[in-house]
Structure 1
Amino acid sequence: MVWKLTGKYLDVIIFQGLQLEGEATKLKVEKGIVAIFLDTKYELHTTRSPIFLGLEPAKSTNMWSEKLASHDVIVGVLDTGIWPESESFKDVGMRPVPAYWEGACEIGTSFTKSHCNKKVVGVRVFYHGYEAVVGRINEQKEYKSPRDQDRHGTHAVATVGGSPMHGANLLGYANGITRGMAPGERIAAYKVCWVGGYFNSDIVSAIDKVVADGVNVLYTSLGGGVSSYYRDSLSMIAFEAMERCVFVSCSAGNAGPDPASLTNVSPWITIVGGNTMDRDFLVDVRLGNGKKMIGVSLYKWKNVLSIEKQYPWVYMVSNSSRVDPRSICLEGTLDPKVLSGKIVICDRSLSPRVQKGDVVRSLGGVGMILTNTEANGEELVADSHLLLVVEIGEKEGKKLKSYLLSSKSSTATLAFKGTRLGIKPSPVVAAFSSRRPNFLTLEILKPNLVAPAVNILVAWSEAIRPSSLKINNRKVKFNIVSGTSMSCPHVSGIATLVKSRHPEWSPTTVKPALMTTTYVLDNTKKTLRDASIAKPFSPYDHGLRHIDPIRALDPSLVYDIMPQDYFEFLPVIVHKTITNVGPPDSKYHVMVSPFKGASMKVEPKTLNFIEKHQKLSCKITFKPKIQQTSPEFGSMEWKDGLHTMRSPIVITWMPPPM
């Protein structure tokens, strides 16, 4: 079977059949064939944030971030579609759609032209590649239309630019006003994800339409394996989009804290990691010995535990050095006679967190304490459980088990404290955030920066339950979820604000504006920490630190990067062009970190600008000194007394060739 997808900038031909490899080999020499790729299956990377990021004063009712926008920037989202009835997509007060927009409102199952408006300006679906590999979409079980049946796309679109919604909450948690980063922007949803997977042929076709339709900013949280740039179709089409003035951002992935867990590493794509905010949903674990531990939960059912009473508990574990499946509460491993009427301790591993709670509930347990293991450290992710469940960190978990094993009469109870603000320290880099290093090109740091990714409240598809369990019959308009696919739309929305404030800027100007204005101190004035180890983190984990929207809107200086610059990775001497986007008559001095393994020289040491938009160049020279056994971290900063443009630098010594 052959599908031909004709785009404005490229044609994609999909072959399905047993002779694919042989036919592809023959096609390589045919005239007009630029490249041949195996159709790859991709995976999705799974509201306090506007205030936390400084886009709005904490007590203000005005949509300050909305005022920052000109209402003429359009964001494209490649994902699972959109739930159009959400009030986050209302277009009240918005001006007519920009004349340059050439997109379409495609219809399909349960989706009509009326679902598009001045907020949702376009929707499209892409499934020919999917059907060529998987087979025809079953329209009895899945919407063959832009409608979102998964929830992922709706959540992402609303985070980017959802309209303000008063009284938003999840079962009473996080009650308040929810809105996207740039609530005045336009949205275009491109559905490329289906129940059976997502394929790069559809993704490439969608991005081609993104460019042709007139999208300014593109967000996607899709990731496959890392391969050479010229063999990565997503990387190549993203480069094409960047050349045609589309800012492209991707989530880093949720495979942390394992090293080299990034799946998107292309230099021209802004890759976003994830971190916490200063809001949490706290629960006290009160022990029979009078001590107390703090965890998190989004449980909202009939509370069967009294805070005035202590309950027996159980932790099913053997003396063997091997992991006992009972300790992680896998289905079919627990004895209801042992669990009935008790609080059960379960280790976080293998099965989904909410599924563990349902297993305990079905066997008569009255509550569950979910303890992190070394892989998750002190990261706490709240879930909408069907049982009284609280998650605690690894350190507290060890203390809890020690108390339990020390006394046969040990007891506990759980006291829910609800939504709490001002949590310290924050932000903290999420343990799940994929990270370091970028083995494809070690000298290019990925992720580029981090943004809020933990416990984000925003719009939800009513086609799916908040806990994703079949037994859960609750329907909600909003949900609280975590993942770098939550942090990336934050950055896409902020990029939209920057583009709206500076419409003449190209994607290669917007990107350094976001990256060089970041910060590295938390709300306790200490270096940001990594949740997986509870220690300060490195540029391998966070790239150029935490995004700062206000500073990004007024960066004063930006690096000029031309498309051809991405092909010139010079290992010893680097030339940089710097553009003054701040006031004229500006003078900047350079400061560089000392390194043990190499000397770093910047020429000139001072940049004297006499007018706005003036461009000056500098040369950076590295000279090896003493080989080091581990990477060295430092930075280069240009300062004028008010503004600082910072670039992190990592020097890595490679073993000599064999």
Structure 2
Amino acid sequence: MELQEVHYPLPGLLPTKTVIQTLAAKILTYSLPLTMPSADGIDVISISLGQENALDITIDSLSIGSLHAMERGVLTVHSAGNTGLSTVRASVTSVAPWLLSVAASIIDCRIINRVVLGGWKDSATCMYLQRGNAVNGFHLNGSEFSLVQGMEVTGTCDEYNPGLYEVGCLDSSKVKGKMVLCNDVGDHSRELTLEDPLSIELVPLDLLIPQANILKRESLHDSAAPIVASFSSKGPNIIISGILKVHAVNSPASFSFSHTVYSSDKINVLQPDITALGIDILAAYSPVASPTDDLPDKKSVKFSVLSGTSISCPHVAGVAAYLTSLHPDWSPSAIKSTLMTTTRPMNAKKNPAAEFGYGAGHLDPVNSANPGLVYETFKDNYIKMSCSMGYNSSKLRKMLGDNSNCPEGPKGSPKELNYPSMTVQVEAKKPFTAKFPRTVTNVGFKNSTYKAEISKDDLVNVSVEPRILSFNSLNEKKSFVVTISGEGLDDSKSVSASLVWSDGTHRVQSPIVIYTSMYFNA
């Protein structure tokens, strides 16, 4: 059975420039430079690469490059990262608010292989049947091969887990002509492991000679989908002034983060922004790279089944390009807002990280074609937000490459950024109040009236003023203020709410998340 380990960025994705024409829009996928995409007539940039930890936006090349692209009317869609795991919070690396950060979720079609165990000394004993998520590139034609356990045929590459498969750790003399049974294939590919390990130890070894045959691959419907992949990086987003103070302790089994405590005005953007399909996706593959990511492997394929936020990212970029072809005059933030406010809702009970795992929800290409209202944000708004977070004019100039200065007068709050989602960090067990001023632009019907619908937890109060927005023309703007308050949240607590503007045809939804400073370390 071929179990592929997922890396970030994925192997086979080359840092070369690729332009994909779709209708009247172009997608550009390349590593550098990001500063002059308009010269190529590019509408959307898709970036499936990044660092393992979030960087301060004033020193992050992807944040800076995508900011220049935004200035030129180009939206950058970026992978959220593959270091999430169920125990890790604040692992999202795509933190700049002008980027569209994409998480990964499972598809509703599972590709499986059935494994038949044989080799029993007692021929009357029934064979044991297993199945697991996998795609093999070979046919066994009914042949059975001996099973060996990973810990018996590997070196000491992983002293913490000798049964864990790692490239270069297998002893070729011990595995030739055999199937290797591994405890795991790495934390990034948990969705690709067997549902139940092949537990040959359940029967005394003197009663069998363990063998196995892999049957033809097949597909099954997964009614639980979509669910955020375990490896998909999660929020909260960490954007602070100065150098990011994050310390990571990495062990083979888990990741743990310790964080400084920040004020509520330092962290205000919910990311990842959105999730899209990113598990077991059939995709084009570089013919010069090994599909197993093993240097000695000389196989070459044009297509492969891949997983990761590197794969979910281009799904969103494709829909963004489609929207750009329908609305070529829309700003990058309008396209981003459309994708976020028209998502398919996700089930928080199936996704423990809730909005910190899937953002505004799951990508809905059909619903996104007609959003009704959009939240627009431009360069001046991002400058004001940066200054309110503590960045000075010197850092702004380095990031923007011009003579920009922080505006004079009150600095305001990052919560004033006209973002489609609303997030606030509060101090545990203390009363809180947060206000989010927002402005929406009418792109639906010329004469329309929208009413506010609020869904909230009993632990918080959410109000909107005004609750009714009436428009008389297209591109007309209306402002409102969302106020969130509460008597105090327990340590390590996160509470979700939502705001939906509806005119009877359109539903413009925005997630709202309130969490405590201790949420990081829970």
Letter in 1 for 2:503: D
SS of corresponding position for 1:404 = helix
Offset, 1:610: 2.8
Q: Go from structure 1 to structure 2 and tell me whether the alpha carbon gap of 1:638 and 1:186 turns closer, same or farther (over 3 Å shift).
A: closer
Of 137, 141, 154 in structure 2, the residue corresponding to residue 300 of structure 1 is 137
Question: In structure 1, what is the Cα distance between the partners aligned to 2:500 and 2:293?
Answer: 47
Which residue of structure 1 aligns with residue 363 of structure 2? 547
SS of corresponding position for 1:612 = coil
Does 2:403 align with 1:591? no
Question: In structure 2, what is the Cα distance between the partners aligned to 1:558 and 1:645?
Answer: 8
For residues 137-167 of structure 1, what are the alpha-carbon distances to aligned partners after superposition, in whole Å with 9 as ceiling and x for unaligned? Answer: xxxxxxxxxxxxx73038995xx848xxxxx
Offset, 1:183: 7.0
- Could you tell me the percent identity over the aligned residues? 28
Whether the aligned pair in 2 keeps the contact of 1:282 and 1:416 (CA below 8 Å) is no
* Correspondence 1:273-422 to 2 at 5 A: 273-287=103-117, 291-303=128-140, 306=143, 313-315=147-149, 326=151, 330-331=154-155, 347-348=163-164, 351-352=166-167, 359=171, 363-364=175-176, 366-372=178-184, 375=187, 379-381=190-192, 391-393=193-195, 396-397=196-197, 400-401=198-199, 404-408=201-205, 409=207, 411=210, 413-420=212-219, 422=221
Which residue of structure 1 aligns with residue 228 of structure 2? 429
In angstroms, what is the RMSD of aligned CA positions? 3.3
Does 2:116 align with 1:152? no
Q: Go from structure 1 to structure 2 and tell me whether the alpha carbon gap of 1:371 and 1:425 turns closer, same or farther (over 3 Å shift).
A: farther
Letter in 2 for 1:256: G
Offset, 1:517: 0.8
Does 2:311 align with 1:448? no
Question: In structure 1, what is the Cα distance between the partners aligned to 2:283 and 2:24?
Answer: 16
Question: In structure 1, what is the Cα distance between the partners aligned to 2:236 and 2:59?
Answer: 20
For residues 506-550 of structure 1, what are the alpha-carbon distances to aligned partners after superposition, in whole Å with 9 as ceiling and x for unaligned? Answer: 0010001001111135xxxx66845xxxxx541111111110111
Offset, 1:491: 1.0
Which residue of structure 2 aligns with residue 623 of structure 1? 485
Which residue of structure 2 aligns with residue 245 of structure 1? 73
Of 483, 492, 504 in structure 1, the residue corresponding to residue 308 of structure 2 is 483
For residues 598-625 of structure 1, what are the alpha-carbon distances to aligned partners after superposition, in whole Å with 9 as ceiling and x for unaligned? Answer: 4221011122223332221111122342
Whether the aligned pair in 1 keeps the contact of 2:274 and 2:363 (CA below 8 Å) is yes
Q: Go from structure 1 to structure 2 and tell me whether the alpha carbon gap of 1:331 and 1:301 turns closer, same or farther (over 3 Å shift).
A: farther
SS of corresponding position for 2:37 = helix
Which residue of structure 2 aligns with residue 77 of structure 1? none
Q: Go from structure 1 to structure 2 and tell me whether the alpha carbon gap of 1:333 and 1:304 turns closer, same or farther (over 3 Å shift).
A: farther
Question: In structure 1, what is the Cα distance between the partners aligned to 2:505 and 2:130?
Answer: 43
Of 514, 517, 520 in structure 2, the residue corresponding to residue 651 of structure 1 is 514
Whether the aligned pair in 2 keeps the contact of 1:599 and 1:625 (CA below 8 Å) is no
SS of corresponding position for 2:14 = helix
Offset, 1:473: 3.1
Q: Go from structure 1 to structure 2 and tell me whether the alpha carbon gap of 1:611 and 1:482 turns closer, same or farther (over 3 Å shift).
A: same
SS of corresponding position for 1:294 = strand
Query: Could you tell me the TM-score, scaled by structure 1's length?
Result: 0.58
Q: Go from structure 1 to structure 2 and tell me whether the alpha carbon gap of 1:641 and 1:292 turns closer, same or farther (over 3 Å shift).
A: farther
Q: Go from structure 1 to structure 2 and tell me whether the alpha carbon gap of 1:475 and 1:230 turns closer, same or farther (over 3 Å shift).
A: closer
Q: How many residues align?
A: 425
Q: Which runs of no fewer than 5 residues in structure 2 stay unpaired?
A: 1-6, 119-125, 240-265, 386-412, 416-423, 425-433
Query: Could you tell me the TM-score, scaled by structure 2's length?
Result: 0.72
For residues 74-116 of structure 1, what are the alpha-carbon distances to aligned partners after superposition, in whole Å with 9 as ceiling and x for unaligned? Answer: xxxxxxxxxxxxxxxxxxxxxxxxxxxxxxxxxxxxxxxxxxx
Offset, 1:579: 1.5
For residues 572-605 of structure 1, what are the alpha-carbon distances to aligned partners after superposition, in whole Å with 9 as ceiling and x for unaligned? Answer: 2211111221123322221223344442210111
Q: Go from structure 1 to structure 2 and tell me whether the alpha carbon gap of 1:251 and 1:371 turns closer, same or farther (over 3 Å shift).
A: same
Q: Go from structure 1 to structure 2 and tell me whether the alpha carbon gap of 1:565 and 1:648 turns closer, same or farther (over 3 Å shift).
A: same
SS of corresponding position for 1:495 = helix
Question: In structure 2, what is the Cα distance between the partners aligned to 1:470 and 1:538?
Answer: 38
For residues 491-518 of structure 1, what are the alpha-carbon distances to aligned partners after superposition, in whole Å with 9 as ceiling and x for unaligned? Answer: 1111000011111110010001001111
SS of corresponding position for 1:511 = helix
Which residue of structure 2 aligns with residue 68 of structure 1? none
Of 237, 240, 263 in structure 1, the residue corresponding to residue 93 of structure 2 is 263
For residues 304-352 of structure 1, what are the alpha-carbon distances to aligned partners after superposition, in whole Å with 9 as ceiling and x for unaligned? Answer: 754xx7x764546xxxxxxxxx27x534689xxxxxxxxxx99546x24
Does 2:318 align with 1:493? yes
Does 2:366 align with 1:564? no
Which residue of structure 1 aligns with residue 36 of structure 2? 209
* Correspondence 1:188-203 to 2 at 5 A: 188=28, 190=30, 192=31, 203=32
Whether the aligned pair in 2 keeps the contact of 1:304 and 1:366 (CA below 8 Å) is no
Offset, 1:434: 1.2
Q: Which runs of no fewer than 5 residues in structure 1 stay unpaired?
A: 1-42, 47-149, 163-181, 193-202, 317-325, 335-344, 382-390, 531-535
Which residue of structure 1 aligns with residue 398 of structure 2? none
Whether the aligned pair in 1 keeps the contact of 2:114 and 2:217 (CA below 8 Å) is no
